[in-house]
Amino acid sequence: MSASAVVTLLLDPELWRLMLTMAAPLVLAGLGELVMERSGVLNVGVEGMMAVAAAVAFLTMLKTGTLLGAAAAAMAATLGLAVVLGYFAITLRSAQLTVGLCLFVFGTGLASLLYRLVIGVTTATPTVQTLPRLAVPGLAEVPFLGTVVFTQNALVYLALALVPVLAFLLVETSLGLRLRAAGENPRALDTVGVNVRALRYGAVAVGGLLIGLAGAYLPLAVTGAYSDGIVGGRGWIALMVVIFGRWQPGWALVGAILFAYTEALQFKLALVTKAVPPQVLLMLPYVVAIVVLVRLYQGAEPPRALGLPYERESRL
């Protein structure tokens, strides 16, 4: 392949559009996790929660045909899982990493179980209609950017819009100030009369809803079908996106785009080259993730109370 062909490939607007399409679930799940972590609750069960959401969304869509219903059902399911995590982490003050991992396993199993229970064993994989692309009038015609940004499905627009909203909320509002404080020093927040527990439960719930939407996105906007590996590590990558973004929504978006680009590129490469085995290309995003990881932690300062349960009456 010549150098110019490579450049053409790397800058292909279709590739970039796919990138943004694939970035959306990472953004949604990443923002959900970010809200939780900013409040001090670590949720490593994202992968399992997304799996459950994907299964529930797909099955609801298949049975009812309503997109909103499918998304809502998925979000309700992950809200439930998030509340379980919150109960363990906030009320019972368990080790959050351990509980999160168990929820990951639980979710992985539950998603598969739900699908089999409803669908049974079939030879033909049932499918649903995926979300249509919505071209934004006027903007869609802008060269490059029009294709990349403005001919996406509705959830991509939503994910992108949530980034500045959340950033504003964190920095410019009282609620954001308190949320940040809960993750840094919950006792300080408690001594000024703010209910740390309620705040953290709230953050966990919001996080759960967003992670649910991210999981629902996969069958509803990408595959149109469910399979057991559908999440494919995106839950874990969402966790990395938060660290990559230094717990800032804007930078988390950048991280999501970076991971999504390698994913989209792998799709593209599989189409244009036959020389490399497809499995090697499929490894690409994961290998890139490890390479990124090496630098990921340098200078990263997580919220100081992240993962630590707060107990008012603990003696210091």
Partner 1 sequence: MRNALAEIAKYAFAFAVAALAGAVLVAVMRGDVLGAYRTFVWSSLGTAGGFAQTLNKMCPLLLGGLAVGLALRGGYFNIGVDGQIYAGAIAATGVALALETVANPALAPFAVVVGVLGGAAFAAIPAVLRAWWSVNEIFVTVMLNFVAVFLTEYLTTGPWNDVMAGEAITRLIPDAAKLPMLSVRAGSHVGIFLALASAVLVWLVLERTRWGFEVRALGDNERAARVAGIRTAWVTAAVLVASGALAGLAGAIEVTALHHRLILGLTPGYGIMAILIAVLGKARPLGILAASFAMAILLVGSDSLQRSVGLPASAALVFQALIVLSVLFVDAKRSVRA
Partner 2 sequence: MSGPPTRSTERLRLEAISKRFGATIALAEAGFEVRAGEIHALLGENGAGKTTLMNVLSGLYHADAGRIWLDGRPAEIAEPRDAIRHRIGMVHQHFELIPPLTALENVIIGQEGSTLLLRRERQARGVAALAARFGFEVDLRAPVAALGLADQQKVEILKAIFRGVDILILDEPTTVLTPQEADALLRTLRTMASEGLSVVFISHKIHEVLGHCDRATVMRAGRSVGTVDASATTEQALVEMMIGERVARTAAPAEREVDDTVLLRVDDVTVAGRGGLPAVSHARFSIGRGEVVGLAGVDGNGQRELVEAIVGLRRVTGGRVELGGRNVTTTAVGDRLAQGLAYIPEDRLGDGALPSMSVAENLFLGVHRLARGGGLTYRPAAIRAGAAAPVRDYAIRGTATTPLGMLSGGNIQKVLIARALAVAGHGDTPLVVAHNPTRGLDVRTTEFVRRCLVDVSRRRGGVFLVSSDLDELMQLAHRILVLFRGAIVADLPSTAFDAYEIGRLMTGAAARA
Contacts with partner 1, 92-131, as mask; x by CB under 8 A: xxx--xxx-xxxxxx-xxxxxx--xx--xx----------
Contacts with partner 2, 154-173, as mask; x by CB under 8 A: ------------------xx
Which among 269, 18, 251, 265 has a CA at the least distance from the CA of 152? 18
By the rule CB under 8 A, 192 interacts with partner 1: no
By the rule CB under 8 A, 232 interacts with partner 1: yes
By the rule CB under 8 A, 98 interacts with partner 2: no
Which among 26, 27, 22, 29 has a CA at the least distance from the CA of 161? 27
**Cβ neighbours of residue 309 closer than 8 Å, sequence gap 6 or more:** 89, 90, 93, 94, 96
Of 66-74, 190-198, 201-209, 224-232, which segment contacts partner 2 by CB under 8 A? 190-198
By the rule CB under 8 A, 1 interacts with partner 1: no
DSSP three-state, residue 76? helix
Strand 133-135 and strand 151-153: the pairing is: antiparallel
Residues in the chain: 316
The letter for the amino acid at 95 is A
Q: How far is the CB of 180 from partner 2 (least distance, A)?
A: 7
Of 7-15, 91-99, 197-205, 209-217, which segment contacts partner 1 by CB under 8 A? 91-99
Q: Which of 112, 130, 185, 223 binds partner 2 (CB under 8 A)?
A: 185
Q: How far is the CB of 95 from partner 2 (least distance, A)?
A: 13
Could you say which of partner 1, partner 2, none residue 125 binds, taking C-beta under 5 to 8 angstroms by partner kind?
none
Write the DSSP assignment of 90-155 as a string of letters.
IIS---HHHHHHHHHHHHHHHHHHHHHHHH-S-SSPP--PPPPEEEPTTGGGSTTHHHHHHEEEHH
Residue with tokens 């799996």: 51
Q: Report the interface residues with partner 1, using CB under 8 A.
A: 44, 84, 88, 91-94, 97-99, 101-106, 108-113, 116-117, 120-121, 228, 232-233, 236, 239-240, 277, 279-280, 282-283, 286-287, 289-290, 293-294, 296-297
